[in-house]
Amino acid sequence: MNLYPWLKLAHLFFIISWFAGLFYLPRIYVNLAQTDPETEPAAYHRLLGMAERLYKFMSPWGWGAVVCGAAIPFVTGWWGNGWVHVKLTIGLALLGYQFYCGRLLQAFIRQRNTRSHKWYRVFNEIPVLLMMAALYLVMFKPF
């Protein structure tokens, strides 16, 4: 039995689900940074609840994406290719990004956010750039 198609299917499923959260969670942070918890407590807590649920939803998908992505080179014989190591590093960087999103979420929960909505708009672009790099590596296998 060839495991590659099954791992690829699972990897793509996990990636799509995970990136939905990676793209949307910082957008919620933009709105949280623009909402004053003292003057708009209902809006702030509604956004905070959305962020907490989304973070819990996306966490297992990230682990599944990295595990399946790390297994693929072993079943395909690609492990010796340099692009695979860079792609796995990107996957680990995205996990780090998610963990940092968790720290930012804790700051919002404690009402100790120190970042502006503009900072979160820029922060939101990081997974886009990392995804583009990973897609380039997979499509062109440059080294």
- Length of the chain, in residues: 143
Mind listing the pLDDT tens digit for each residue in 116-126?
A: 999 999 999 99
Dihedral over alpha carbons 92, 94, 100, 105 (to 10 degrees): -140
Residue 43 phi/psi, 5-degree rounding, is -65, -45
Mind listing the pLDDT tens digit for each residue in 81-132?
A: 999 999 999 999 999 999 999 999 999 999 999 999 999 999 999 999 999 9
| The predicted structure's pLDDT at residue 92 | 95
Question: Percentage of the chain with pLDDT > 90?
Answer: 99
| The predicted structure's pLDDT at residue 76 | 95
Whether the CB-CB separation of 61 and 93 falls below 8 Å is answered with no
Alpha helices in 1-143 (DSSP H): 4-34, 41-76, 82-109, 117-123, 126-140
The pLDDT of residue 1 is above 90: no
Mind listing the pLDDT tens digit for each residue in 18-52?
A: 999 999 999 999 999 999 999 999 999 999 999 99
Distance separating alpha carbons of residues 88 and 19, to the nearest angstrom: 16
87 is known to lie in a ligand binding site: yes
Nearest one of 32, 31, 23 to 54, comparing CA atoms: 23
The pLDDT of residue 15 is above 80: yes
